[in-house]
Structure 1
Amino acid sequence: MDLIERYLKAVGAQLPAAGREDILAELRDLLMSRVEEREAELGRPLTEAEVEALLREVGHPLTVAARYGAGPQHVVGPELYPWWMFGVKTALTVLVLITAVGAVARILFGQVEVGQAIGQAFAGLFESGLTVVGLATLAGFIIERQAKKPAFLTDWRAKDLGLFEVGVFSRRWWDALHEKSGGGTLAETDKALDASLPKMSPTAGALGSATGWGIFLLWWSGLLGLGFRPEDLGGELVRGEIDYGLLFAETVTLLYWPVLVFAAAQGLFHVLRALTGSPARLTAFGDVVFRGASLTLLGWIWLYSPFSSLIRVDSVGAFVERTETLVRTHDGVDTILMLIVAAAILGEVFALLGALKTLFVGR
């Protein structure tokens, strides 16, 4: 029975030292019993090929050893899978958006052909997508092997179930598109699409935000292989004696660490929101802090960044005059940048006021 002993050695090599001998003794008895039963049926000793067939019926040594192992026999189990899938979908969506913005910027402002930019975008997206799926799977692997299940798996609430019907990833959204292709009117399709986009619960929104900020952080730090860095978005835009691409790269360099800290803090804060059920005042407090930080960064861009001399105006009259000139001449990259930064500042101010109201009122 050399084959059986060799089989047992292969199984034993995969077993922990504690209890190994007992398991092998039990397995040896099982195998010998099956051999004896088969020999009794045939009325003769089994051939080597028949012993091989019997061992294959029992299972491969890796599979058999796993039956006696502790812990789950899967990387991401069915209970955790919806959460894993949600994280992957959200992360891939953010990746697609970043890649699309980068490709468009390189086509418009850089010396890159359309076909080359698209090809590089797809290559970078594929590589980064694999990284995202790998990181999500690693996280699932670790969670599955915790002695205690995370609270989000056990202490869920009915109002958070919209998490699994996220936007365009839901079947209803695709069904609505299919109905349109079958002859539905545009109004009917819009109504069906609106119905297929349930409002995400605060916890679901927090998880989505945490995932999005995590992907942005990986990209900003250069850990995602998208084929372009943040400074590349400026391209090679030269107007007159001004190299806007160079100014953009210098600004990104100066903002590298502040934005890195800002994105990391945002991601951690949204994880905290998800773990605590995203209470209104906690969310509002975070919004106040982060809106204030955003205003600080935008204020720096307006007053002190390499772009400051191009976009800064000292009065409302000067702001209006530059805007009117842009409308008349349809030329003025610096004025366009001025309007973008001014609009961002105004948007952050209104968002900050809304967050302050929620913080004090509680809803």
Structure 2
Amino acid sequence: MDLVERYLKTLAAQLPKDSRDDIVAELRDEIMGRIDALEARLGRAPTDDEVEALLREVGHPLTVAARYRSGPQALMGPELYPWWMFGVKVGLTVMACVTLIGLAVRVLVGDVYVGQAIGQGIASLFSGAVTIVGLLTVAGFILERQEKKPDFIARWRVKDLGMFELGGDFDAEQWGQKLARGDWSSSKAKPESKPGPEVRKSAEMSPVARAVASAIGWAVVLLWWTGLLQVAPIRPEDLAGVVDGLDYGRILGEMVRAAYWPVALFAACRVGFDLMRAASGGNVRLTALGDLVFGIAAAWGLLWVWFWSALSPLIWVGTVTDFVERVRVLIGRSGDDVGGVATILMVVVVWAFAAEVVRMVRAAARLVVGR
């Protein structure tokens, strides 16, 4: 019975060690009983082909061994799969935006031609998609095998369910016919209009869903920033050249090198915080505290750009009067004047800093009142 022993040896390799001998002995008795019954029915010893057919009826060793293993028998169960799909959609959306923006910049600065950009974009999207799907699948595999699922999965809310319908109503055939006819109208009857506040309330994503989406988005940014996600890699020098007699590519390169690890740490902390926020059910005060801390970090980064970065000598002004004067000159400048790019960057940094201050004030208010 070499076939039986080979079958049992293969099966034993897939079984848990603590119960392997007992299971193999049980299966050996079952198989030998079937062979004895087959021999009695045939009136002779079964051939190897007949024994092999009988073993096929018992089942493939991998399938049979799976019956004796504890734990999930799939990568992800139906409870976790919708979250995985949502994560894939968000991750691919962020990756596509990063890719398109990067390629658009490279085309505008003349680094690549449009045809090259399209080819590189397709290759980047494919490799990036494989990376994102793979990482999310590994995360789903680990979560599926946890005894206690995170609260955002086990204690879901009805408001969270709408996010899984992204793209669910998209009918490719119908839209193809519309494009051919040049018809952009909807064939479905429009539902009765709702008041503005009611529409916003029904369309609003729950805090848990926002936390999960934010974590996925920041994870994609982190992978791209660190070069682990090969999506349209761009050297800082490719983003800008010499403008108004200033080498902005060199300046940007120095800033990226100086800010590389702080930005990576910021993104990693943001991912961790968003996951913690999702696990806690979107606690209002926890979210407000995180927004306050990350707002302070972002504001400090903008202060670094203003006072100490390689860009500082070009954008720094000491008084509000000087700031207003530079803006006035920018508005009234002619095409031959210089210094416009530096002034625009100055305005962008000031505007971003003001936005972070407003964000911190709102976060502090939510932290105090708890809503």
The two structures share one fold, judged by TM-score above 0.5:
yes
Q: 1:171 aligns with which of 168, 173, 177?
A: 168
Q: Which residue is 2:326 aligned to?
A: 319
Q: Which amino acid aligns with 2:227?
A: G
**Within the alignment, does 1:124 sit opposite 2:121 as a pair?**
no
Contact 1:210–1:267 (8 Å) recurs in 2: yes
User: Once the two structures are superposed, what CA deviation does each residue of 1:123-159 show, in whole Å capped at 9, x if it has no partner?
Assistant: 2222222122111111122222223333333233334
Q: Which residue is 2:258 aligned to?
A: 254
Q: Which residue is 1:215 aligned to?
A: 220
**Within the alignment, does 1:357 sit opposite 2:357 as a pair?**
no
Contact 1:72–1:144 (8 Å) recurs in 2: yes
Taking structure 1 as reference, are residues 59 and 144 closer, same or farther at Cα in structure 2, changes over 3 Å only?
same
Q: 2:302 aligns with which of 287, 298, 307?
A: 298
Q: How does 1:1-363 map to 2 (within 5 A)?
A: 1-165=1-165, 169-172=166-169, 178=175, 181=178, 183=183, 185=185, 198-229=203-234, 231-232=235-236, 234-314=238-318, 315-326=322-333, 332-363=340-371
Q: Which amino acid aligns with 1:337?
A: L
3-state SS, counterpart of residue 172 of structure 1: coil
* 1:326 Cα deviation after fit: 4.8
* 1:171 Cα deviation after fit: 0.9
Contact 2:75–2:141 (8 Å) recurs in 1: yes
User: Once the two structures are superposed, what CA deviation does each residue of 1:58-113 show, in whole Å capped at 9, x if it has no partner?
Assistant: 22212222221222211222221111212222111111111111111111125222
* 1:177 Cα deviation after fit: 7.9
Taking structure 1 as reference, are residues 100 and 254 closer, same or farther at Cα in structure 2, changes over 3 Å only?
same
In structure 2, how many angstroms separate the alpha carbons of the residues matched to 1:27 and 1:110? 70
User: Once the two structures are superposed, what CA deviation does each residue of 1:223-261 show, in whole Å capped at 9, x if it has no partner?
Assistant: 1122414x4375242224311111111111111122122
Contact 1:280–1:358 (8 Å) recurs in 2: yes
* 1:4 Cα deviation after fit: 1.2
Q: Which amino acid aligns with 1:172?
A: D
* 1:27 Cα deviation after fit: 0.9
Q: Percent identity?
A: 48
For structure 1, the 5+ residue unaligned runs are: none
Taking structure 1 as reference, are residues 159 and 288 closer, same or farther at Cα in structure 2, changes over 3 Å only?
same
Q: Which amino acid aligns with 2:277?
A: R
Taking structure 1 as reference, are residues 144 and 185 closer, same or farther at Cα in structure 2, changes over 3 Å only?
closer
Contact 2:315–2:343 (8 Å) recurs in 1: yes
In structure 1, how many angstroms separate the alpha carbons of the residues matched to 2:276 and 2:289? 12
In structure 1, how many angstroms separate the alpha carbons of the residues matched to 2:177 and 2:358? 38
Of 207-216 and 176-185, the range deviating more from structure 2 = 176-185
3-state SS, counterpart of residue 169 of structure 2: helix
User: Once the two structures are superposed, what CA deviation does each residue of 1:190-247 show, in whole Å capped at 9, x if it has no partner?
Assistant: 989x989932110000011011111111111221122414x43752422243111111
Count matched residues.
358
Contact 1:163–1:201 (8 Å) recurs in 2: no
* 1:7 Cα deviation after fit: 1.0
Contact 2:288–2:363 (8 Å) recurs in 1: yes
3-state SS, counterpart of residue 343 of structure 2: helix
In structure 2, how many angstroms separate the alpha carbons of the residues matched to 1:214 and 1:111? 28
Q: Which amino acid aligns with 2:67?
A: R
Scaled by the length of structure 2, the TM-score of the pair is: 0.85
3-state SS, counterpart of residue 17 of structure 2: coil
Of 347-356 and 53-62, the range deviating more from structure 2 = 347-356
* 1:274 Cα deviation after fit: 0.6
In structure 2, how many angstroms separate the alpha carbons of the residues matched to 1:174 and 1:359? 44
Scaled by the length of structure 1, the TM-score of the pair is: 0.87
